[in-house]
């Protein structure tokens, strides 16, 4: 009786999950691959190249990055679908939860095509939600919108690999480089202004000494003399400004997957 109860305790949740997720892709029988297309999207050559890259990374690091391309989300939002898929497939190592799932749903009208990066608990610190969103916004969506699908996934996996390996940290990814060119120009302008001020100071001191007056009286007299010589030019009217706006940011945090986190976008 006890054995029958245990068997039911194991089987019932599985049956319940199957009933809840009837259209969720089944666990692949061939688990030697990490790229799965349930709708033709990448060419055979592109898919093979990406899959080999993912498998090689898994072998070298034990971290698993999987790409799954589907034609429907079964009525779920992308985050919920990815969570259910990752959990049912058991991606990553159980003791480390070190998987990343890139879910792509490329079928649909504009705005109804989705991509989401989901992370397991073990990689959440290295690849937090905000960084997932940056990867989607910076690496994936611009290329997807141009039809460069392979390039988008290739660029995204490069960043994910580097973050997972600790080649650089999440804080440094996506930061604008330090504006050394602007700094150089500011320094040059300061040097010119300081040089001009020093030259003017010497001129004022000489004028003050020659006319036996104090420094500020000499400065005022020289300034007035300069104005009378310049006359009236009518002045400048308009004036520049930067004319541009700031960047966007990542637009907020995403949902969760494997309970670890993630973020996505649409195109």
pLDDT: which is higher, 9 or 202: 202
CB-based contact 228:214 (threshold 8 Å): no
Q: Is the model's pLDDT at 265 over the cut of 90?
A: yes
Residue 73 dihedral angles phi and psi, to the nearest 5°: -105, 10
Confidence band of 94 (pLDDT split at 50, 70, 90): confident
Please report the pLDDT score of residue 144 as a whole number. Answer: 98
Which pLDDT tens digit goes with each residue over 231-262? 433 332 333 332 233 333 322 223 334 665 88
CB-based contact 88:22 (threshold 8 Å): no
Mean pLDDT within 168-184: 63
Q: Is the model's pLDDT at 228 over the cut of 70?
A: no
Per-residue b/e over 143-158, b at no fewer than 16 CB within 10 Å? bbeeeebbbbbbbbbe
Which pLDDT tens digit goes with each residue over 116-171? 999 988 888 899 999 999 999 999 999 999 999 999 999 999 999 999 988 666 67
The 8-class DSSP code of residue 258 comes to T
Helix, coil or strand: residue 205: helix
H or E segment to which residue 218 belongs? helix 215-230
Please report the pLDDT score of residue 167 as a whole number. Answer: 65
Please report the pLDDT score of residue 189 as a whole number. Answer: 82
CB-based contact 24:88 (threshold 8 Å): yes
User: Could you confirm whether domain 15-174+253-266 is CATH 3.10.310.50?
Assistant: yes
Considering only 26-40, 43-57, 129-143, which range has the smallest mean pLDDT? 26-40
CB-based contact 152:141 (threshold 8 Å): yes
Per the prediction, the chain carries an average pLDDT of: 76
Please report the pLDDT score of residue 221 as a whole number. Answer: 61
H or E segment to which residue 151 belongs? helix 149-165
pLDDT: which is higher, 229 or 50: 50
Which pLDDT tens digit goes with each residue over 57-70? 999 988 999 999 99
Percent of the chain with pLDDT over 90: 41
CB-based contact 161:58 (threshold 8 Å): no
CB-based contact 265:127 (threshold 8 Å): no
């Amino acid at each position: 009786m006890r054995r029958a109860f245990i068997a039911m305790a194991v089987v019932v949740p599985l049956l319940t999950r199957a009933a809840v997720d009837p259209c969720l892709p089944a666990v692949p029988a061939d688990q030697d691959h990490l790229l799965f297309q349930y709708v033709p999207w990448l060419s055979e050559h592109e898919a093979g190249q990406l899959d080999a890259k993912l498998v090689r990374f898994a072998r070298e690091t034990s971290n698993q990055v999987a790409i799954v391309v589907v034609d429907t989300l079964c009525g779920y939002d992308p985050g919920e679908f990815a969570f259910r898929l990752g959990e049912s497939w058991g991606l990553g190592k159980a003791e480390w939860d070190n998987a990343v799932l890139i879910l792509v749903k490329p079928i649909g009208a504009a705005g109804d095509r989705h991509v989401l990066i989901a992370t397991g608990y073990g990689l959440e610190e290295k690849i937090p939600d905000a960084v997932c969103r940056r990867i989607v916004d910076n690496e994936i969506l611009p290329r997807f919108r141009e039809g460069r699908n392979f390039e988008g996934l290739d660029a995204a996996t490069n960043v994910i690999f580097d973050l997972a390996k600790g080649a650089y940290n999440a804080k440094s990814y996506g930061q604008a480089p330090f504006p050394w060119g602007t700094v150089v120009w500011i320094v040059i302008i300061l040097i010119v202004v300081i040089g001009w001020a020093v030259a003017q100071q010497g001129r004022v001191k000489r004028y003050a000494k020659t006319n036996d007056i104090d420094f500020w009286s000499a400065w005022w007299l020289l300034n007035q003399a300069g104005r009378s010589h310049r006359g009236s030019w009518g002045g400048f009217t308009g004036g520049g400004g930067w004319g541009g706006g700031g960047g966007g940011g990542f637009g907020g945090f995403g949902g969760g997957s494997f309970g670890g986190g993630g973020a996505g976008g649409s195109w």
